[in-house]
Structure 1
């Protein structure tokens, strides 16, 4: 009897492995949709298009970038979470959509821990504290003094309510009880445009978005919201250096899939993405956007998400921030 059960188990295992192998060989069966939960031209969109083009070449099927912005990234991420788990739909994930939004919304259309499969973090870049060129401060100390002097007077842009750009400024304003006015925008491009025009006064935004305008003198860069100085912007101090160590908002961008996507497909995607991110041409294009490749494992990706929850939960609770 035991012998028959053993043979039955071995046969079942063999058939399962064969099916998985066949599944991997047949993938992908058509165009892959890469959902970006933010507007075209945003930093996540830039990474999606850069990586997506190479991924399509390597997989032999086109990768179509779909921008589904709105609700702090929840609309696009929900589309990924509810897609068929066959690898034909994947998405972009950031700290907001994978960690912070669940702390801000009482009701979420998806569960980041249960409904999303993490593949790898593609790249990371520093977020930069910038002000309009006319703002009366040239360093962080002057900025904090201005905020303390005139609480309620100044405003800041973010790439969406609940985003790291929102929470970083909220935490910075809390240091001086500044009562900053938050103005969310659908993407980093729109946010920096608002700062340039004087519609808002400042923001903590991805380096790739703001540095061209810093170089042209249209906005001022005061510091980066990172734990250590950036290899791309060594001249800028960290907020930790100038008295705000709790304000960290590195802009990392990951690739995700619907939960229950077959393990062999997740492995295939991870392998292809890691190899793409190791290509010198891709690394150079990322460098020009102030981004460094990450290419970590799903487990390391999960650790980053958990770190974001631990970092921002106290800020959200202390400032009573909710989005519904």
Structure 2
């Protein structure tokens, strides 16, 4: 039986379909299944908070489930490498932070991934200040007081960190370098143990994440001397910066943003970027991030790429200047 001839509309449609690349008709639109955001550290940290706040709000506009998976170990290298080697299809993302993205490049020997080559920046989510805190029983009321005491006791002033090679560690080493003082680094496995010893009077100061430190400040157990970022944080506008305390060009933070495996389709990256920026405009979301001591700024993928590049270059300079080596 002969088929009737095609009308003009059907003929054009058939010609258009024939012109599509092989297999294009079988490819469903993105996204159509669960998206996974990998956090390269244990639950409860700043990056984990960023990931969960965004994941919860991405589900509606994307129409799929968005889950967070914590893959900790090797100072963030295990989770980061897993995403770097994942299929570049938009379904596996990384909540990347300074240690595994900006610091590791110059600090970790034989790094099993290259952040610039293997990962594509999508959007900055938060840029949280570090809180320079001391025990409230000490006489220190400012950065100048702390530095003066360090000069009076060379080699005796101690500072805690959440671990060697973390932003807080490099912030303290930079403070010592810029002021010409000798201070002793006491590394801990996370902010919790570091704060415990600071509260107990066993170390002199700590560049802590704001969310972990502020409750103790409010209880009168710790004193907040300054924040580590270039400008004052919206969550504590009355607190001066370390730069205002006499250390110019001082800028360290706990930032976090979304990354995708290199080669992820640009359309997926642009869509994710658009949705994240829409989330950041929400007053409730913005208020929550500010409460956590974070600055909130929207970025395009290109702007976030530039930000990451500047952070990589900054830490390369800091690592060389301070001479800090991995443990």
Bin of the TM-score, shorter chain as denominator length: 0.7 to 0.9
Correspondence 1:182 to 2:186 = yes
Please show how residues 48-197 of structure 1 align to structure 2 within 5 Å: 48-174=51-177, 175-186=179-190, 188-197=191-200
Query: TM-score by structure 2 length?
Result: 0.86
Correspondence 1:32 to 2:4 = no
Please show how residues 286-297 of structure 1 align to structure 2 within 5 Å: 286-297=289-300
Any idea what the Cα deviations from partners look like across 1:207-234, whole Å, max 9, x if unmatched? 2221122111121110111222233222
Which consecutive residues of structure 2, in runs of 5 or more, have no partner in the other structure?
1-14
Residues of 2 paired with 1:217 and 1:201: CA distance? 16
Larger Rg: 1 or 2?
2
Residue number in structure 1 paired with 2:9: none
Secondary structure of 2:244's aligned partner? coil
Report the Cα offset of residue 132 of structure 1.
2.3
Residue number among 314, 317, 320 corresponding to 2:320 in the alignment? 317
8 A contact 1:42–1:189 mirrored in 2: no
Correspondence 1:256 to 2:259 = yes
Residue number in structure 1 paired with 2:3: none
Please show how residues 212-227 of structure 1 align to structure 2 within 5 Å: 212-227=215-230
Correspondence 1:15 to 2:20 = yes
Change (3 A) 1:93 1:14: farther
8 A contact 1:120–1:297 mirrored in 2: yes
Please show how residues 263-282 of structure 1 align to structure 2 within 5 Å: 263-282=266-285
8 A contact 1:72–1:161 mirrored in 2: no
8 A contact 1:72–1:160 mirrored in 2: no
Residues of 2 paired with 1:228 and 1:93: CA distance? 23
Report the Cα offset of residue 121 of structure 1.
0.2
Change (3 A) 1:56 1:156: farther
Report the Cα offset of residue 59 of structure 1.
2.2
8 A contact 1:127–1:225 mirrored in 2: yes
Residue number in structure 1 paired with 2:204: 201
Residues of 1 paired with 2:212 and 2:19: CA distance? 51
Report the Cα offset of residue 112 of structure 1.
0.7
Which consecutive residues of structure 1, in runs of 5 or more, have no partner in the other structure?
1-9
Residues of 2 paired with 1:123 and 1:60: CA distance? 24
Alignment: residue pair count: 312
Residues of 2 paired with 1:228 and 1:21: CA distance? 51
Change (3 A) 1:13 1:280: farther
Change (3 A) 1:270 1:178: same
Any idea what the Cα deviations from partners look like across 1:67-107, whole Å, max 9, x if unmatched? 22333322221222122222221111122221111111221
Residues of 1 paired with 2:317 and 2:83: CA distance? 28
8 A contact 2:161–2:185 mirrored in 1: no
Compare 55-64 and 264-273 and name the one that shifted more: 55-64
Change (3 A) 1:17 1:319: farther
Residues of 1 paired with 2:22 and 2:153: CA distance? 66
Residues of 2 paired with 1:229 and 1:17: CA distance? 55
Query: TM-score by structure 1 length?
Result: 0.87
Report the Cα offset of residue 181 of structure 1.
1.6
Report the Cα offset of residue 189 of structure 1.
4.3
Residues of 1 paired with 2:169 and 2:18: CA distance? 49
Secondary structure of 2:64's aligned partner? coil
Residue number in structure 2 paired with 1:3: none
Report the Cα offset of residue 313 of structure 1.
2.1
